[in-house]
Amino acid sequence: MLKLLIVKTSSLGDVVHNLPIIHDILSHHPDAKIDWVVEENFADIPRLHPGVNQVIPVAIRRWRKSIFSKQTWHEINIAKQRIAQFSYDIILDTQGLLKSGLITSAARGQSHGYDKHSAREPLASFFYQHTHPVARNQHAVARNRSLAALALDYVAPDNLPDYGIHGGTIHTHISHTHISDTPYVMGLHGTSRDSKLWPT
């Protein structure tokens, strides 16, 4: 059985764009056991996918605000222990940032990520044992799928991505919120940075 750790911590859209690699990997390795490291605020997204075994939340955004706090370092140490708890066949960093590279280096196993010409932050590539070239001019979903294919040695799919989240999954997940069975609209109005806001 292939044991795999995915590192894609944030942001909301990036985490959603990473979901199709779960389907792709399971198409080639049906018995794969896939864990995912993700920012605590977005942890429910990979939890919605039935192909994700375990979600390991981190709180980098929160920790940065109180980096000298004893509590922060206690939480960081607990997160590092959880990440290093299991040995993985493949650790796949689809984020390509220094923060995700640091997380990847805390895990046990063969690490894969973008090469220095493909990563959003080129220095992140130094944290990986295996680096892969992926064209930067592709959509994020295609880049993630290409990187996963290179790391796991299969041909990158060119079909429509399967995000693995279906109505029944979502309904089960939010049934405790007392949303009725009548049609409803859900709007997402917040963002993590002012630079992502639409002008009004």
Task: Count the residues in the chain.
Answer: 200
CA 46 – CA 53 distance, rounded (Å): 9
CA 140 – CA 134 distance, rounded (Å): 11
Q: Strand, helix or coil at 64?
A: helix
**Bigger pLDDT: 174 vs 13:** 13
**Bigger pLDDT: 99 vs 170:** 99
CA 9 – CA 183 distance, rounded (Å): 31
Contacts of 82 (CB under 8 A, 6+ apart): 56
pLDDT in tens, 47-56: 999 999 999 9
- pLDDT of 177 reads 59
**Bigger pLDDT: 184 vs 95:** 95
| Helices 98-106 and 70-84: angle between axes, nearest 10 degrees | 60
pLDDT in tens, 92-148: 999 999 999 999 999 999 999 999 999 999 999 999 999 999 999 999 999 999 999
In order of 136, 156, 159, the CA distances from 41 in angstroms are 27, 30, 30
Other Cβ atoms less than 10 A from the Cβ of 196: the count is 11
| Bridge-based pairing state of the strands 52-58 and 87-93 | unpaired
- pLDDT of 181 reads 67
Query: String of b and e for 135-173 (b: at least 16 CB within 10 Å)?
Result: eeeeeebbbbbbbbbbbbeeeebeeebbbbbeeeeeeee
- Spell out the domains of the chain, with CATH numbers in brackets: 3-165 (3.40.50.2000)
pLDDT in tens, 107-123: 999 999 999 999 999 99
Q: Kindly tell me if the per-residue pLDDT of 197 is higher than 90.
A: no
Averaged pLDDT for residues 166-175 = 59
- pLDDT of 183 reads 76
Residue recorded with tokens 């295609």:
142
CA 174 – CA 171 distance, rounded (Å): 5
Radius of gyration for the chain, computed over Cα atoms and rounded to the nearest angstrom: 17
Q: How confident is residue 61, by pLDDT bands cut at 50, 70 and 90?
A: very high
Read off the amino acid at residue 135: A
At 158, list the tokens: 């060119």
